[in-house]
Amino acid sequence: MPISGFPEWLPSQRMIEQFTLDKIRSTFELYGFAPLETRAVEPLETLLSKGETSKEVYLLRRLQDTADAPAKGEDQLGLHFDLTVPFARFVVENHGKLQFPFRRYQIQKVWRGERPQEGRYREFLQADIDVVNRDTLPFHFDTEMPLVIGDVFRSLPIPPVVIQVNNRKVCEGFYRGLGLADTGEVLRTVDKLDKIGPEKVAALLVETAGATDAQAAACLKLAEISASDGSFVDRVRALGVDAPLLDEGLSELLQVVETAGEHAPGLVRAELKIARGLDYYTGTVYETQMRGYEQHGSICSGGRYETLASVGNTRFPGVGISIGVSRMLGLLFKQDALSVSRSVPTCVVVALPSDDQRAECDRIAAALRKRGIPTEVAPTAAKFGKQIQFADRRGIPYVWFPGSPSTVKDIRSGEQVEADASTWMPPAADVHPLVTGV
């Protein structure tokens, strides 16, 4: 029986997922990101030190291990809830073997024990890119992240996306300029705007962050600012708050918006309510929404971090962004917004005239496969009409009839022509299943 929050796709959906992953992987590699895979488990202490709550981390233990505590000398282990924390740990452990700046992509499952809902799972696939450097990381890497992600999404048959960007320095500088000391609490509270609304956020700011009503109102004014060009800078200035960190953040955010606007107009929007919940972000933050699916929140997010990884006095600052592959596809599958031209990879079914001709049919199939044509032999020597039905039910476009000469039939049009298995090629569009948006 199904387990809530642990999706299992049908073969046709899995083919769409693999198509999506191929597009993601190839785009990441076009930008020079190298592949990496890290272990699924991390010490619990590592996971909980990076901003995730203990109730969302899945613990790992052996069935025979009845003790609550791990054995002496062993760490308590949990499944990773994102790919950034294990990546930072990997960098620390392997920094002597890596060339910096280090650009990597990682496509793996992660686990998060939150309440399952539409597009939100407990086991899901993420596709991450990060750039880390030793000691300092030039800011231009922050401007590159949206460009990579924009190219990924344009390569997929999905609705247009908008990458919402902010910079925590803008928020923290503004809060400090207002006289609010606990900027972390203010950030976490403002990050709840979409969930609980401005009135409750204002009340929480007074209650938990020590804000006055006027300070809370100013925080909400900042969060209302949204622009797809540099006009947000003047709107922030008009609020009358001054702080060096605010100036630095506005300058950085402007670079991200202007660079993206030149590369892909309309891709990026400055959205000053975006904060991101995880504690390790220190500068630029990103969240991405699909048009028509905004009510489901972000499908791609990330940001800048300065202190996530360090060895002694050496820091490894980084910036990264993560595509929630399962989240995105789950939402699209729910609306039947993606389709694939057939439910199997097969392009050609070799008809089987009789069981004693199976070896000959296998040779034909092998000749077609040798040239990259996905082929299978019919499972039984039934009437040709049934063998054609076998192909048609699966969306397979061609049936090959052995003989002297052999013929191949396009069962969609009914056209049948003589063919040689060593030379015949279907149209390029038929070789592999086609994924399209609806």
Is 121 annotated as belonging to a binding site?
A: no
Region of residue 55 (phi > 0: left; psi between -120 and 50: alpha; otherwise: beta): alpha
Q: Is the dihedral of CA 142, 148, 94, 76 positive or negative?
A: positive
Is 82 annotated as belonging to a binding site?
A: yes
User: Peptide bond preceding 7: is omega within 30 degrees of 0, i.e. cis?
Assistant: no
**Phi, psi (5° rounding) for residue 367?**
-65, -40
- Report the Cα 174 to chain-centroid distance in Å: 31
Contact 44, 78 (CB under 8 A): yes
Residue 405 CA to residue 345 CA, distance in Å, equals: 26
Residue found under tokens 């971090």: 305
List strand residue ranges (DSSP E) for 133-168, in order: 161-167
Is 126 annotated as belonging to a binding site?
A: yes
Is 176 annotated as belonging to a binding site?
A: no
End-to-end Cα spacing for the chain: 30
Q: CB-hemisphere CA count at 13 Å for 283? A: 28
Give the neighbor-by-neighbor strand order of the sheet with 398-401.
Answer: 375-377, 348-350, 398-401, 407-410, 416-418
154 Cβ partners below 8 Å, 6+ apart?
Answer: 264
Is 130 annotated as belonging to a binding site?
A: yes
Contact 331, 293 (CB under 8 A): yes
Smallest CA-to-CA distance from 163 within 273, 299, 320 is with 299
Residue found under tokens 């000691």: 135
Q: What is the DSSP string of 293-312?
A: -GGG--SEEEEEESSSSEET
Is 280 annotated as belonging to a binding site?
A: yes
Is 108 annotated as belonging to a binding site?
A: no
Q: Residue ranges for the binding site for L-histidine?
A: 82-84, 112, 126, 130, 276, 280-281
Q: Residue ranges for the binding site?
A: 82-84, 112, 126, 130, 276, 280-281
